[in-house]
Structure 1
Amino acid sequence: MSRFARWSWPLTILLLPVVLMTWASVQSGRVDDVLREAQNIGGYYAWLRVRQVLAGLAYWLALAALVAGPATWLKLRLDAWRALKSRDFLYDRLFLCWRALGHWLSAYAGLLMGALALSLLYELSWGWSHLKAGGWLILLVAVPLIAVLWAGCLLIGRLRQQWHALDSPSSAFLGHRMGRDKAPALWAWIEQLATATGAPVPDHIVVGIDQSFFVTSVDVALQPAGDLLLGRTLYLPLTYLSTLSQAEAASIIGHELGHFCSRDTERGSEIGAHFSLMCLHFAFIRAEDADPAWIERPAIWMTQRFLHYFQLAVHHWGRAQELAADRVGGNIGGERLFCQALLRVIALDAEINTLLAERHSNLIQALADHLRHTPLRLNDAALNHTIAHPFDTHPPTALRLQQLGVTLDDALLAEATRVPTEHDRHWFSQL
């Protein structure tokens, strides 16, 4: 992206009000000149006064927009800075800041549309009254601007609708819910792990094949069944479970349950999940209009900046929560076993993603066949790897091992990259 393109978006916040102010000033000057010549023409004089009021109101609305734009930007930066410094501010105020941004952007767009509407009304009135004296040229220029006014009104409607949708985001992914009646041994095992970690038992257990391990407290629309899951959900990937030992899986699940150990930890998990969904939703909205109108660009740019700066705070505090959850996972079978399981999941990640892209009819069998002939690998790049899942805030792997006091030696690497045993492949199905 060129330097001009990068700066053109934020500059529209200032340029659009300035253009409208200049236009209104020119209109006011035009009507003032005629007023001085038409004071003795009663009816025509009254219409000129109306146009003078229209120009004056348009000017002041544009001036208000000129002030509101930078004020919104300053409030955004201040709130993001406070969120980076205070975890409680982030947890308590993220949604309030998001709603406030929506109100400010709607007000900003409304001021611009009001100024534009008054200026257009002025020009249409002037062009119609001076039709025989060349006023048709003014109409020729002003009428197409009605489309811009319409686009701005649609923007305000979209802002209100989409902000409401983002206030209560939900997630959707593929999986199958395992009820207590269908998998009592699985639930008993998870309850034992929850007791060991001091975490509440999840409300739902979902198994799938296209994600890694994760927990979430946001609402989940489970596909293809269409079930809506409310409360705490634990997601277990059958792909990884077919290549980990039960002890390794217990350590990883202990880490995930660690996100529910305290209210602060769970709130952090909820904030991270909600924020990730906000980003995904906005990316979808942005993709709908690759080249938005100039009148839409200030709102889109400001929203992008909000998500960018608050993402720094979300990831800062989210990574602290991940390290705390690592310690919980380490309490299940020891820090070394947790790190072994963590490295194994990272080594498997690339292989599973490759097989997912190839669209095998039986992914678990394809993974087993693949690992018989292809050894797992871990290199320096893996130490900077972060495990991907829908609500990712994981720190680099090297930092996680360092925080647990575990040294990456040859024995640990050998265990993490071993060929799956028969027990690894079948223990979960035997629960």
Structure 2
Amino acid sequence: MTVRSTETGRGQRCPDCDAALPADEQYVAWCAACDWNVDPGAPDPVPGRAEALRRRLARRYGERLFAAMDEPARRDPSGVLAVVVALAVHTVSAGLAVAGLLLLVLGWGHGALPVIGALLLVLGCTLRPRFGRLPADAPVLRRPDAPRLFALIDEIAAAAGTTGVDVIVLGPDAGAHVTTYGIRHRRLLHLGLTLWEILTPQERVALLGHELGHFAHGDLRHTAVVARALDTLALWLYFLAPGSAPGLAQWFANVVMAPPRWIARGLLSGLDRLTLRASQRAEYLADGTAARVGSSAAAAGLLDRLLVTPSADNARRREAIVASRSSGSAARREAEEHLWERVAACVALVPEVEYERLRRVGVRRGHAADSTHPPTHLRHRRVTEGVQHEASVHCDTERTAAIAAELAAVRRRLAQTAVGDAGR
């Protein structure tokens, strides 16, 4: 939780406008009337030049799109160009492999041509697009493992105009995202339990609606062609990164690899910028889906919870450390059993005045989930000031309990892992 950073005593009044200050000792003392001490934290870390430009563009696009989202959608030339660039990237990868194979077969017996062909073939196969895999070290749920949860996701997907997911991967974090895996591009939903547990049932519906909305609205970054191209370019940069070994050979290799490294970096930066506006529009559309399926109030509540996910993560770590120091195996098992409830209880104590302060800090700093998202305060405004929706999908008490029972074993496993990691 945010810790008070001033020496102002409770029960006092604002030194600037004499308004009464909040009286909660656990949170920052600030003035809602004049914003005195609203943002006492340290400035955001200064990013590199490229990341700073990316953030400025993201904020600019987010602000422009906020004002233009109600206008009819138009074909985005940058999106078309992004697909062209992505296809060119895949063509290069395939071309290396094909050229290598031809040199290896047709150049056999012609000096060094087969050797060059073998090198190109290996390089092309190494730099080929990856299709993603299921994580080996995280719980994976399939339909037979959690039929009620998958049924809820299917209902939300139908309301959003898309289909559900093939697997759900659970983690201890405070995030959620959708992606695809495998050559058949099966759909995967990642759910972080720290986020899931601090949400109300209807906010969970909004969360699932938001994530499935990325599939429903054709988010450019979630398409197979563009997503794999971004991954491939990142892989190119990894292999082309300059080595640090001493010697003339390494220096020569770094010099030779510099031009393709610059090209790869330029392509990655260009493709990222070409998809940035479309990605931000997709986030606004996904928020709209969240409001339609879960209700506008639930979508706004979800966005508020995202403001306190750092506090939720800290609460999870703190509770895990306390549990790891419990005396006796019975006490430790009890602490593990109730880890997630205690994290949720910590977040439930956050007062509305603290949420309001965090919203104002977000306006000042232009905070967003990351540089592919519009500023969170603009997303919140669009949900709360736009057309208000009632929920089209409901998660009642019986359904909530059934889903909790399906997740019980995974909750215990992730709690045990968190406590074990904290005790090391």
Q: Please give the TM-score of this superposition, normalised by the length of structure 2.
A: 0.53
Alpha-carbon contact 2:162-2:212 (below 8 Å) kept: yes
In structure 2, give the amino acid aligned to 1:95: A
Mapped pair 1:393 → 2:377: no
How many aligned residue pairs are there? 279
How far did residue 267 of structure 1 move? Answer: 7.0
Instruction: Give the Cα separation in 1 of the matches to 2:402 and 2:375.
Output: 30
Aligned to 2:404: 429
Aligned to 1:303: 264
In structure 2, give the amino acid aligned to 1:217: T
Deviations 1:87-130 (CA, angstroms, capped at 9, x unpaired): 23423x24322145558999xxxxxxxxxxxxxxxxxxxxxxxx
Alpha-carbon contact 2:171-2:191 (below 8 Å) kept: yes
Using the aligned pairs only, state the percent identity.
23
Alpha-carbon contact 2:139-2:170 (below 8 Å) kept: yes
**SS of 1:200's equivalent?**
coil
Q: Residues 99 and 265 from structure 1, CA distance in 2 versus in 1: closer, same or farther, beyond 3 angstroms? A: closer
How far did residue 401 of structure 1 move? Answer: 2.8
Deviations 1:42-91 (CA, angstroms, capped at 9, x unpaired): xxxxxxxxxxxxxxxxxxxxxxxxxxxxxxxxxxxxxxxxx973423423
Aligned to 1:333: 294
Q: Who wins on radius of gyration, i.e. which is larger?
A: 1
Deviations 1:10-62 (CA, angstroms, capped at 9, x unpaired): xxxxxxxxxxxxxxxxxxxxxxxxxxxxxxxxxxxxxxxxxxxxxxxxxxxxx
Instruction: Give the Cα separation in 1 of the matches to 2:344 and 2:213.
Output: 30
Instruction: Give the Cα separation in 2 of the matches to 1:357 and 1:102.
Output: 47
Where do residues 30-69 of structure 1 align in structure 2 (5 Å cutoff)? none
Where do residues 148-163 of structure 1 align in structure 2 (5 Å cutoff)? 159-163=123-127
Aligned to 2:215: 260
* One of 293, 298, 322 as aligned partner of 2:283: 322
Mapped pair 1:278 → 2:232: yes
Aligned to 2:67: none
Structure with greater proportional helix content: 1
Deviations 1:279-321 (CA, angstroms, capped at 9, x unpaired): 5534543557357621111111111111011110122211122
Where do residues 378-417 of structure 1 align in structure 2 (5 Å cutoff)? 378-383=358-363, 384-387=366-369, 393-404=372-383, 406=385
How far did residue 191 of structure 1 move? Answer: 1.9
Q: Residues 105 and 202 from structure 1, CA distance in 2 versus in 1: closer, same or farther, beyond 3 angstroms? A: closer
Alpha-carbon contact 1:175-1:208 (below 8 Å) kept: yes
Gapped regions of structure 1 (runs ≥ 5): 1-5, 7-82, 107-151, 221-228, 408-421
* One of 205, 208, 215 as aligned partner of 1:250: 205
Where do residues 149-188 of structure 1 align in structure 2 (5 Å cutoff)? 159-164=123-128, 167-170=129-132, 173=135, 174-188=137-151
Aligned to 1:215: 178
Alpha-carbon contact 2:210-2:287 (below 8 Å) kept: yes
Question: Cα RMSD (Å) of the superposition?
Answer: 4.4
In structure 2, give the amino acid aligned to 1:395: P
Q: Please give the TM-score of this superposition, normalised by the length of structure 1.
A: 0.53
More relative contact order, 1 or 2 (CA 8 Å, 6+ apart): 2
How far did residue 247 of structure 1 move? Answer: 0.3
Aligned to 1:416: none
Aligned to 2:343: 367
How far did residue 257 of structure 1 move? Answer: 0.9
Q: Residues 359 and 406 from structure 1, CA distance in 2 versus in 1: closer, same or farther, beyond 3 angstroms? A: same
Aligned to 1:78: none
How far did residue 180 of structure 1 move? Answer: 2.3
Gapped regions of structure 2 (runs ≥ 5): 1-48, 50-74, 98-115, 245-250, 325-335, 387-396, 407-424
Instruction: Give the Cα separation in 2 of the matches to 1:176 and 1:329.
Output: 26
Instruction: Give the Cα separation in 2 of the matches to 1:356 and 1:172.
Output: 26
Aligned to 1:98: 89
In structure 2, give the amino acid aligned to 1:382: G
In structure 1, give the amino acid aligned to 2:340: I
In structure 2, give the amino acid aligned to 1:96: L
How far did residue 187 of structure 1 move? Answer: 1.7
In structure 1, give the amino acid aligned to 2:82: L
